[in-house]
Amino acid sequence: MSMFDQEWFEERYRSAPALWSGQPNPQLVADVAELAPGTALDAGSGEGADAIWLAERGWTVTAVDFSTTALERAAAHAAQRGESVSGRIDWRHADLTTWTPPEASFDLVSAQYMHLPPEPRAALFARLAAAVAPGGTLLVVGHDLSDHAAGAHRPDMPEMFFPAREVAASLAPDDWEVLVTESRPRPAKVHEGEEITVHDAVLLARRRED
């Protein structure tokens, strides 16, 4: 078993009744709240907070994760919101490092904190970008490498982190309008309860119409 593979995440999810806050990721809220709802792909959906937030706003969501424990929790959380929410979400078990989403199929593709080594990361982001429909939006968010210096608890694996400009550079200018490439600050708490400022690498791009 290696860090960040499927078995590692299964054990991590099973170690606690909840790993995450249950709130949608802040950059998703900041960048997607004003978009007209359509079809969305939530890549690495975890315990479902992002997918549920999207469904509550009228999106039809395909939520993909390779942890069955996380997907079961996510489906239970969605069911608590009622059929109007749960009925809008397709929970799908798949390994994003090998799964290929249908091309040009989603009005929104969101990948929040998908940290992989450079080669599989680039391949994953290329597949996710290809899944965005013409006129649709790609949102990629990651932890900024500067978080180490800020005191955040991040793996000591600098190759797993990426600047937003790296993702932007992989998008063909004839096909994409890059809207945001930035390191965006936000408040966060470390395990000891201390509040610090961390930064997210944020890439927001719109696929040009044919």
Task: With respect to residue 9, please indicate whether it lies within any of the assigned structural domains.
Answer: no
Residues 13/45, Cβ–Cβ less than 8 Å:
no
Percent of the chain, pLDDT > 70? 88
Residue 6 belongs to a domain? no
Residue with the two structure tokens 């961390």: 198
Domain containing 38 — which CATH number? 3.40.50.150
Percent of all residues in the chain with a pLDDT value above 90, rounded to a whole number: 71
Q: Using the Cα atoms of residue 105, residue 110, residue 114 and residue 117 in order, give the sign of their dihedral.
A: positive
pLDDT at 148 over 70: no
Confidence of residue 15 (pLDDT cuts 50, 70, 90): confident
Considering the domain boundaries, does residue 56 fall inside one? yes
Answer yes or no: is pLDDT of 88 > 90.
yes
* pLDDT reported for residue 196: 82
What is the pTM for the complete model shown? Answer: 0.90
Residue 154, domain member (yes or no): yes
- Whether 95 has a pLDDT exceeding 60, the answer reads yes
Q: Is residue 74 part of a domain?
A: yes
Q: What is the CA radius of gyration of the chain?
A: 16
Are 111 and 141 a contacting pair, CB within 8 Å?
Answer: yes
Looking at per-residue pLDDT, the higher value among 45 and 158 belongs to 45
Spatial contact of 141 and 206, defined as CB atoms under 8 Å apart: no
User: What is the arithmetic mean of pLDDT over 143-166?
Assistant: 77
Confidence of residue 183 (pLDDT cuts 50, 70, 90): very high
Residue pair 167/187 in contact (Cβ under 8 Å)? The answer is no
Residue 157 CB-density burial (10 A; 0-12 exposed, 13-18 middle, 19+ buried): exposed
Give residue 151's pLDDT. 60
Picking from 169, 163, 167, the residue whose alpha carbon sits closest to that of residue 183 is 163
Task: Tell me which amino acid residue 118 is.
Answer: P
Query: Mapping DSSP to helix (H, G, I), strand (E, B) and coil, where does residue 191 land?
Result: coil
In the predicted structure, residue 194 carries a pLDDT above the cut 70: yes
Number of domains in the chain: 1
Confidence of residue 6 (pLDDT cuts 50, 70, 90): confident
Predicted pLDDT of residue 1: 42
Q: What mean pLDDT is reported for the chain?
A: 90
pLDDT of residue 188: 81
CA dist 83 to 51, 71, 89, 199, Å? 14, 17, 10, 36
Q: What is the pLDDT of residue 149?
A: 58
184 beta partners = 200
Domain membership of residue 63 (yes or no) is: yes
Query: Mind listing the pLDDT tens digit for each residue in 107-131?
Result: 999 999 998 999 999 999 999 999 9
Range of the domain at 137: 24-207
Average pLDDT rounded to a whole number, residues 136-158: 79
Predicted pLDDT at 152: 64
pLDDT surpasses 90 at 7: no
Distance CA 199, CA 184 (A): 5
Cα separation, 210 vs 206, in Å, equals 12
